[in-house]
């Protein structure tokens, strides 16, 4: 199956609500590689690499987030895969 890479910026109430930790668990459960981090402007940034169906499932989850999150917007850009291994918080 083809590997895809999506670079994501999520805005809203996404810091201080376990968004990063939940993203790691969700991405790992789908077997994805990549990373997630908080940005100084209050957004969360992430990179997802893996099979397209799994990446799309995680993107769908990211548009909602964990229970205390309020996602206002998720900007997604497709990029060439880099062959990342594992999924981490940066």
Number of domains within the chain: 1
CATH number at residue 54: 3.30.70.100
Q: Are 65 and 19 in contact (CB under 8 A)?
A: yes
Catalytic site positions: 20, 38
In a domain, 64, yes or no: yes
Each of the 90 residues of the chain gets a pLDDT tens digit; together they read 789 999 999 999 999 999 999 999 999 999 999 999 999 999 999 999 999 999 999 999 999 999 999 999 999 999 999 999 999 999
The residue range of the domain holding 53 is 3-80
In a domain, 87, yes or no: no
- The 3-state secondary structure of 8-26, one letter per residue: EEEEEECCCCCHHHHHHHH
pLDDT of residue 39: 98
Note the pTM of the prediction, 2 decimals.
Answer: 0.95
DSSP-assigned beta bridge partners for residue 51: 3
pLDDT of residue 1: 77
In a domain, 88, yes or no: no
Distance (Å, rounded) from C-alpha 90 to C-alpha 73?
Answer: 21
């Amino acid at each position: 199956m083809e590997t895809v890479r999506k670079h994501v910026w999520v805005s809203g109430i996404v810091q201080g609500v376990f968004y990063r930790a939940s993203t790691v668990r969700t991405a790992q459960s789908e077997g994805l590689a990549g990373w997630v981090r908080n940005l100084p402007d209050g957004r969360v940034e992430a990179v997802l690499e893996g099979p397209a169906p799994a990446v799309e499932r995680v993107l769908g989850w990211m548009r909602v987030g964990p229970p205390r999150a309020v996602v206002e917007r998720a900007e997604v850009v497709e990029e060439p895969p880099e062959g990342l291994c594992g999924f981490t918080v940066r």
